[in-house]
């Protein structure tokens, strides 16, 4: 009787990412540790549990939940309620049923340490098994057809679990308890190596692959979210052939290494770089290349950076251990099309690119690219959010009253859903310029709608009338009466994406610098400064508008932007008598003709884009090439700027809301050293940000948009902001580029309908 009186009973509701991540067995084991009785189960938006025991045990139990929670879980909120004593006899795990579906989907995670140990232990029954995984690692999003996350609703359903696997799967004390993709040699998927002349190899699939790679050939290898094109990263001929076949002249290729020691041989890593490379998400990390390295030069031409990563599936692990050199591992696709997820498509679409294929029979239901990250002096910046990070959810303290669907931008597109207490952002989908890409986009949308049982009340899209997503949205609301449409300005959505990531609900000074987006006045914006909140914005500054000669042509040819800059600053007579390298590429007649276009605004849309100003300065400082990929000018200016020690800046003026760079252009023409120009230009942009920030001393600073992928710029700006003691925000969990737009769009609607 006495013992019963000293006992207490508590009920907890835990929300967050707590399903499909080993949370129930974790609670089960914790309850055993503290001799607590009761139960744990899943419910609609989390885990529910009730326990009975001594006060001290309950306190320790509660502390351990936060402290020792499973690696893939995330706790957003714990609700506690004291209850009457029940007199539980034991502690049990309650099975979930259909009505208790959680809204949380977890991303795919790299092979954990325990699984790696088994993989390399010749006595283990999964020794060298290319599909080893457990509750803490392995595929998730890419194999899910529907929720609740259960084997029957994944692409593992066709594999019948053997007795040994089933025993592990059903034992709450086993580390594979309810690991849905569990399998082994006896019951799981199988590797196949195939060449084009019909040779098929199952027994020696990895060895055959290795032989091909070592011979300088290219193999398509099935990863977790799609195929990689793989070749020897130290073989110049192999890499340049791959580039040629992929129609990708200069955009850097990622390299996968066996281990961190091998990366250090060719790259200089900071402590933060190492941590990120080794993290369970295993992203591609952009790091500094050493001067002396044995990698093929064409991997990242003209820049001092390189994207590196480590094996993240058991198959990669085995492959890299067998190979003698690192491999180029780039998404299997044609230039900017989406990553290819099935073998048939590889044979259909890109047969000429590859010599063989290493595949298996576990289907990829949802394709997912590799994530890309970058460390600046103080901040970690996300360039592409995909495997390991997405789908990602953001917890909302206040529930949204509507189901919101945000469609993102046209490039680097993502989709965000907002429902209940969560905003869920999809993995990177990519540029929507091709039919294939838009099909992939709608497939992703269908998956999210199906999995979350979601039909929108509100749709948010970009203001650009020609974006595929805008057209789709307009048609959708026509066909579905009662669904509201919000068209949101692109750069405001950039500001909001950063505010969403940090749950900001106050006025901010937002610098939204990128390539281009559709402005409120129908012009192309891209160098915008707003005083903004989650409800409204005022454009307080923008870069001086510049006509883009020939529209889209100017985006690929920096020389055209440079010419426009000259027209902006000088008379035609002055230009014709100038000694400027750009003018060597145009005849006098062309210079006159383009000047007419400039003056009369013929096929020359006006743009305030800072991205284009980077292009213009790139060409003015002597780089005459057309661009091989978006952002190339910025990447090269960044690289060469590091060679200059100068801290000097150029002149500019801030007047009537316009950032005028005329004086800077004149000064640039006086400087002859490319490295000095690059450094002074980037430092000038930083100085402009700081000066405008000083005009608005009492609100935090927000930095968003693709221009903030520039390491030198971000490092300098944040250093100066810190010196001033300013509070500032830059995204690190979501892409700072257009990949973050959908989150910003959703945040606006969430605030509107809270
Ligand atoms: Zn594992
Ligand atoms: Zn088995």
Compute the distance from residue 178 Cα to the ligand 1 centre, in Å: 12
Compute the distance from residue 115 Cα to the ligand 1 centre, in Å: 4
**Mean pLDDT within 523-535:** 97
Q: If we measure between CA atoms, which residue out of 518, 519, 517, 497 comes closest to residue 508? A: 497
Query: Does residue 467 or residue 334 have the better pLDDT?
Result: 467
The pair of three-digit structure tokens given for residue 214, joined into one six-digit string: 């070592």
Compute the distance from residue 426 Cα to the ligand 1 centre, in Å: 24
| Cβ atoms 182, 133 nearer than 8 A | yes
Compute the distance from residue 138 Cα to the ligand 1 centre, in Å: 7
For the CA of 160, the nearest ligand: 2
Compute the distance from residue 165 Cα to the ligand 2 centre, in Å: 4
- Reported as a single tens digit per residue, the pLDDT across 663-693 is 999 999 999 899 999 999 999 999 999 999 9
What span, in angstroms and rounded, lies between the C-alpha atoms of 471 and 479?
Answer: 13
Compute the distance from residue 452 Cα to the ligand 1 centre, in Å: 27
The pair of three-digit structure tokens given for residue 733, joined into one six-digit string: 């969990």
> What was the pLDDT predicted at 1?
46
CA 699 remoteness from chain centre: 28
> What was the pLDDT predicted at 501?
97
> What was the pLDDT predicted at 453?
86
Strand partners, 286: 307, 374
Separation in Å, CA 322 to CA 211, 326, 356 = 10, 11, 18
What span, in angstroms and rounded, lies between the C-alpha atoms of 19 and 241?
Answer: 45
Compute the distance from residue 30 Cα to the ligand 2 centre, in Å: 28
Compute the distance from residue 207 Cα to the ligand 2 centre, in Å: 24
Q: What is the β-pairing status of strands 356-360 and 219-222?
A: parallel
What span, in angstroms and rounded, lies between the C-alpha atoms of 709 and 286?
Answer: 11
| Cβ atoms 459, 405 nearer than 8 A | yes
> What was the pLDDT predicted at 5?
55
For the CA of 132, the nearest ligand: 1
Q: Look at the block and give the residue holding tokens 């508008």.
A: 545
- Reported as a single tens digit per residue, the pLDDT across 60-80 is 999 999 999 998 889 999 999
Cα torsion 343, 370, 499, 525: sign? negative
- Reported as a single tens digit per residue, the pLDDT across 111-146 is 999 999 999 999 999 999 999 999 999 999 999 988
- Reported as a single tens digit per residue, the pLDDT across 621-649 is 999 999 988 899 999 999 999 999 999 99
For the CA of 109, the nearest ligand: 1
pLDDT band at 42 (very low <50, low <70, confident <90, very high): confident
Residue 751 DSSP label: H
| Cβ atoms 681, 613 nearer than 8 A | no
Compute the distance from residue 26 Cα to the ligand 1 centre, in Å: 15
For the CA of 182, the nearest ligand: 2
> What was the pLDDT predicted at 533?
98
Q: Which residues surround ligand 1, an ion (CB under 5 A)?
A: 112, 115, 134, 137
> What was the pLDDT predicted at 45?
73
Compute the distance from residue 125 Cα to the ligand 2 centre, in Å: 9
114 CB burial (10 A radius; 0-12, 13-18, 19+):
middle
Lowest mean pLDDT across 97-101, 149-153, 332-336:
97-101
For the CA of 126, the nearest ligand: 2
753 CB burial (10 A radius; 0-12, 13-18, 19+):
middle
For the CA of 129, the nearest ligand: 2
The pair of three-digit structure tokens given for residue 626, joined into one six-digit string: 């057309």
For the CA of 135, the nearest ligand: 1
Q: What is the mean pLDDT of the chain?
A: 93
Compute the distance from residue 113 Cα to the ligand 1 centre, in Å: 7
Q: Look at the block and give the residue holding tokens 């679409």.
A: 349
Q: Look at the block and give the residue holding tokens 């940000």.
A: 689
- Reported as a single tens digit per residue, the pLDDT across 584-608 is 899 999 999 999 999 999 999 999 9
Compute the distance from residue 202 Cα to the ligand 2 centre, in Å: 18
Compute the distance from residue 279 Cα to the ligand 1 centre, in Å: 14
What span, in angstroms and rounded, lies between the C-alpha atoms of 404 and 752?
Answer: 11
What span, in angstroms and rounded, lies between the C-alpha atoms of 192 and 208?
Answer: 10
645: number of Cβ within 10 Å: 8
Compute the distance from residue 182 Cα to the ligand 1 centre, in Å: 10
> What was the pLDDT predicted at 148?
75
pLDDT above 60 (res 4): no
> What was the pLDDT predicted at 101?
54
Compute the distance from residue 119 Cα to the ligand 1 centre, in Å: 10
Separation in Å, CA 465 to CA 294, 468, 701 = 48, 8, 30
Lowest mean pLDDT across 189-198, 328-337, 521-530, 742-751:
328-337
64 CB burial (10 A radius; 0-12, 13-18, 19+):
middle
> What was the pLDDT predicted at 466?
93
The pair of three-digit structure tokens given for residue 582, joined into one six-digit string: 């750009």
Compute the distance from residue 155 Cα to the ligand 2 centre, in Å: 16
Compute the distance from residue 256 Cα to the ligand 2 centre, in Å: 30
Please, what are the domains in the chain? 2-100 (3.30.70.100), 103-188 (3.90.870.30), 191-360 (3.90.870.10), 382-502+736-752 (3.30.420.360), 543-699 (1.10.357.160)
Compute the distance from residue 277 Cα to the ligand 1 centre, in Å: 18
Compute the distance from residue 166 Cα to the ligand 2 centre, in Å: 7
Compute the distance from residue 431 Cα to the ligand 1 centre, in Å: 34
SS3 content of the chain, % helix, strand, coil (to 5): 35, 25, 40
For the CA of 22, the nearest ligand: 1
pLDDT above 50 (res 2): no
> What was the pLDDT predicted at 98?
58
| Highest mean pLDDT pick, 20-29, 362-371, 675-684 | 675-684
Show the beta-strand stretches assigned E in 293-376. Answer: 305-309, 327-331, 356-360, 372-375
Share of the chain above pLDDT 70, in %: 98
What span, in angstroms and rounded, lies between the C-alpha atoms of 314 and 116?
Answer: 8
- Reported as a single tens digit per residue, the pLDDT across 317-340 is 999 999 999 999 998 876 667 777
């Amino acid at each position: 009787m006495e013992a019963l009186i000293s006992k207490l009973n508590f009920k907890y509701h835990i929300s967050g990412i707590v399903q499909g991540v080993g949370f129930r067995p974790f609670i089960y084991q914790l309850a055993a540790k503290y001799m607590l009785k009761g139960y744990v189960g899943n419910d609609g938006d989390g885990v529910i549990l009730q326990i009975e025991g001594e006060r001290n045990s309950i306190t320790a139990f509660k502390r351990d939940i936060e402290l020792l929670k499973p690696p893939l879980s995330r706790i957003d909120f714990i609700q506690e309620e004291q209850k009457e004593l029940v007199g539980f006899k034991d502690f049990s795990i309650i099975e979930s049923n259909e009505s208790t579906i959680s809204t949380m989907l977890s991303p795919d995670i790299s092979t954990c340490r325990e699984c790696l140990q088994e993989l390399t232990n010749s006595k283990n029954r999964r020794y060298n098994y290319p599909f080893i995984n457990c509750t803490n690692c392995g595929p998730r999003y890419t194999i899910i057809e529907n929720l609740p996350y259960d084997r029957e609703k994944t692409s593992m359903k066709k594999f019948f679990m053997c007795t040994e696997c089933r025993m592990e799967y059903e034992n709450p004390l086993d580390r594979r308890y309810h690991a849905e993709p569990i399998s082994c040699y006896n019951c799981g998927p199988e590797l196949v190596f195939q060449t084009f002349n019909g040779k098929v190899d199952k027994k020696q699939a990895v060895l055959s692959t290795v032989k091909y790679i070592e011979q300088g050939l290219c193999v398509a290898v099935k990863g977790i979210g799609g195929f990689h094109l793989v070749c020897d990263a130290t073989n110049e001929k192999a890499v340049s052939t791959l580039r040629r076949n992929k129609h990708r002249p200069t955009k850097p290729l990622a390299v996968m290494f066996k281990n961190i020691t091998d990366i250090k041989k060719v790259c200089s890593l900071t402590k933060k770089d190492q941590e990120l490379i080794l993290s369970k998400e295993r992203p591609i990390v952009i790091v500094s290349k050493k001067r002396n390295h044995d990698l093929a030069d064409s991997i990242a031409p003209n820049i001092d950076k390189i994207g590196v990563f480590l094996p993240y599936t058991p198959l990669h692990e085995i492959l890299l251990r067998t190979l003698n050199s690192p491999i180029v591992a780039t998404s299997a696709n044609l230039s900017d099309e989406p990553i290819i997820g099935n073998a048939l498509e590889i044979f259909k679409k890109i047969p000429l690119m590859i010599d063989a294929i290493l595949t298996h029979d576990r289907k990829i239901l949802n394709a997912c690219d590799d994530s890309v990250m970058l460390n600046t002096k103080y901040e970690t910046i996300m360039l592409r959010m995909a495997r390991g990070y997405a789908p990602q959810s953001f917890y909302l303290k206040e529930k949204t009253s509507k189901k919101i669907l945000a469609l993102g931008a046209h490039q680097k597109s993502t989709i965000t859903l907002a429902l209940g207490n969560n905003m869920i952002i999809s993995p990177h989908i990519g540029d929507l310029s091709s039919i294939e890409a838009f099909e992939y986009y709608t497939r992703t949308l269908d998956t999210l709608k199906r999995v979350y049982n979601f039909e929108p009340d509100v749709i948010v899209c970009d203001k650009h009338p020609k974006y595929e997503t805008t057209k789709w949205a307009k048609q959708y609301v026509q066909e579905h009466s009662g669904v509201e449409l919000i068209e949101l300005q692109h750069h405001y959505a950039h500001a909001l994406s950063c505010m969403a990531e940090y749950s900001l609900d106050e006025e901010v000074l937002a610098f939204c610098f990128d390539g281009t987006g559709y402005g409120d006045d129908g012009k192309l914006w891209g160098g915008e400064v707003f005083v903004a909140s989650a409800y409204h914005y005022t454009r307080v500054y923008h870069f001086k508008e510049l006509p883009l000669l020939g529209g889209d042509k100017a985006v690929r040819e920096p020389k055209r932007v440079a010419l426009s800059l000259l027209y902006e600053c000088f008379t035609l007579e002055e230009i014709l008598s100038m000694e400027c390298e750009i003018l060597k590429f145009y005849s006098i007649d062309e210079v006159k003709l383009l000047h007419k276009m400039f003056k009369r605004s013929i096929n020359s849309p006006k743009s305030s884009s800072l991205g284009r100003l980077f292009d213009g300065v790139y060409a003015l400082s002597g780089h005459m090439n057309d661009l091989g990929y978006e952002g190339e000018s910025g990447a090269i200016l960044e690289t060469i700027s590091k060679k200059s020690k100068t801290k000097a800046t150029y002149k500019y003026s801030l007047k009537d809301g316009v950032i005028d760079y005329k004086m800077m252009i004149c000064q640039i023409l006086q400087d002859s050293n490319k490295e000095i120009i690059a450094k002074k230009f980037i430092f000038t942009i930083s100085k402009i940000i700081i000066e405008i920030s000083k005009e608005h001393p009492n609100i935090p600073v927000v930095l968003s948009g693709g221009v903030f992928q520039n390491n030198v710029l971000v490092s300098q700006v944040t250093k100066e902001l810190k010196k001033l003691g300013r509070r500032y925000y830059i995204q690190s969990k979501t892409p700072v580029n257009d990949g973050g737009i959908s989150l910003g769009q959703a945040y606006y609607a969430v605030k509107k309908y809270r």
